[in-house]
Amino acid sequence: MKKRKLNTALLFLICTIAIGVMSSYKIDFFEISKQIEIYNTLFKEINMNYVDETNPAELMEAGVKKMLSDLDPYTVYTTEQDVENARMRQSGDFVGIGSDLQFIDNKLTIFETYKGMSSDRAGLKPGDEITKINGVDILELGPGSDLLLGGEKNSVVTVSYLRNGKEKTASVTRENRKAKAVAVYEILDNEIGYIALSQFSRGSSEEVKNALKFMLIDDVKGLILDLRNNPGGILQEAVGIVNLFVPKGQLVVSTRSNNKKYNNRFVTRDQPLSLDIPLVVLVNGQSASASEIVAGALQDLDRAVVVGQRSFGKGLVQQPKPLPYGAQVKVTISKYYTPSGRCIQALDYNTKTRNGVVKKFEPRKDLFQTRNGRSVYGGGGISPDVKVGVSSDFDIVKVLKKNRLFFKFALGYISKTPPKKTEGFGIRESAFNQFKKYCLAENLSLGTLTESYLEKALSASKEEKLDDLLDAASVFSKAIEKEKEKAIDLSKNQITEVLSEEIVRICFYREGFFKYSLSYNESIKKGKNILINLDEYYDILK
């Protein structure tokens, strides 16, 4: 019965995608019906005639997943169980323990605890590996095991975890408190306001509004809106935040698609809180989606100076479509565009090399103009008006973050020499060298085509016992290792800064991270200087 349900859902998925294509501006009914007929007949013939017994459900699911993987990483098929898990997470009656959990090296790990919340009060810390939930082994539960940490408000969950190789147990009360979107807001020296927004969750625009009101009462001379490491969230919250600084009726972002029904324009609906406060927006390579909408709109409208590094470039919009038996497909339906017409999306999944590698849109190729006639470029992501940090073809810091190397090294550092306070803290030269050695020992991949091809060549040479080629390949391997070391050395200052911030975040929570950044982060320093020297600010926006 389950197999029949899964087959029906997956077959319906194929038809759903086909119908979606039919409704786009180019329609080829014959070609679509032809391909569906071929697929159906092929599937039937294989299952009826293959030499060994087949599993129709697994075959269909594998085919569908391969089909979707050729589109983009965000168009995904979701099983009935996964849909139910997501529904439970979004339910108002389903609450958690006040921490961010991630699977790191296939282990359910606490990545962050929120200050004062239940997991923090129970003594859980970043780096703790969850081994059992209410006595049930995580290995038995598999994917989605973190869902068991949630439940009804005020209920208690027993958590077993490993810390430095020792097993411990804690009883944690589930609660409905959520981490604030505005992690820190305060007035710095020279009467410069600072607001750090960590996510675009429900109500985040109201949090920013309240913080801004506080700043305006004290008559601040300028404002820094920090969107570094902000992965995005709810689109309407992004529009609401832009609305605090620009007039009613102003275009903030548009969505465009081959299917006209998904073409939309999102404009401000309310009167602004401040039209003239000098504004700097901070972004980096981990600022994505809604963060890029805010930064891009304020840049295009010449309402803010953007400082930092090019943002992530996540400009695709998804919408869930229901399938039979409770399954679902989340389909990419459109792309985000800033008011000047720049596409936020960085990777062009529609254009691939002969080897199947996704191409990036070329930065500085497509020229656009802001409201005042300033030149800004497409190419995905938001390129800052004032760059801070190393520019290169690939971002080594982003690679290190993706592999959680900052986090893992920081845990080891803290276990030996935990900082007692944020003031004056910073890692020494010896710690940087240890980190570099650690990264190289972790078989770090830069994600380049050269590495991919070399790995395949080495594997084939070993299987075919081609010793001479193995020797040649090993020379290339050593050269790549030197390139990795060179990339780390070139970004030494930025890596030192990020590693210091990660250590502070783990020891002193999210609030400590942002407060530490106020004194030591180069982007914040640059933003403050621009707002103190308003001649530079207005020169940039001319």
Are the C-beta atoms of 269 and 252 separated by less than 8 Å?
A: no
The CA distances from residue 471 to 247, 453, 455, in Å, are 66, 16, 13
> Choosing from 132, 180, 314, 401, which is the catalytic residue?
314
**H-only helix segments in 449-533:** 449-463, 467-490, 492-520, 522-532
Residues 6+ apart with CB under 8 A from 479: none
Residue of 10, 103, 89, 96 lying closest to 55 (CA atoms)? 10
Tokens coding 386: 């004032």
Q: Identity (one letter) of the amino acid at 95?
A: V
Q: How far apart are CA 488 and CA 439, in angstroms?
A: 9
- Which H, E and C letters describe 233-267, residue by residue? ECHHHHHHHHHCCCCCCCEEEEEECCCHHHCEEEE
Are the C-beta atoms of 183 and 148 separated by less than 8 Å?
A: no
Beta bridge partners, 307, equal: 282, 386
Tokens coding 227: 């969107």
The CA distances from residue 475 to 436, 448, 468, 472, in Å, are 21, 17, 11, 5
Tokens coding 196: 């750090």
Q: How far apart are CA 478 and CA 484, in angstroms?
A: 10
300 given a catalytic annotation: yes
Q: How far apart are CA 303 and CA 223, in angstroms?
A: 12
> Choosing from 160, 287, 289, 523, which is the catalytic residue?
289
> Choosing from 300, 385, 401, 517, which is the catalytic residue?
300
398 given a catalytic annotation: no
Beta strands in 366-410, from DSSP E residues, in sequence order: 367-369, 375-377, 386-387
Q: How far apart are CA 294 and CA 297, in angstroms?
A: 5
Give the number of other CB atoms < 10 A from CB of residue 375. Answer: 9
Tokens coding 154: 């005020």
Q: How far apart are CA 446 and CA 405, in angstroms?
A: 13
391 given a catalytic annotation: no
Are the C-beta atoms of 449 and 357 separated by less than 8 Å?
A: yes
Taking the CA atoms of the chain, what radius of gyration do you get in angstroms? 25
SS3 state at 362: coil
Q: Which residues are catalytic?
A: 289, 300, 314
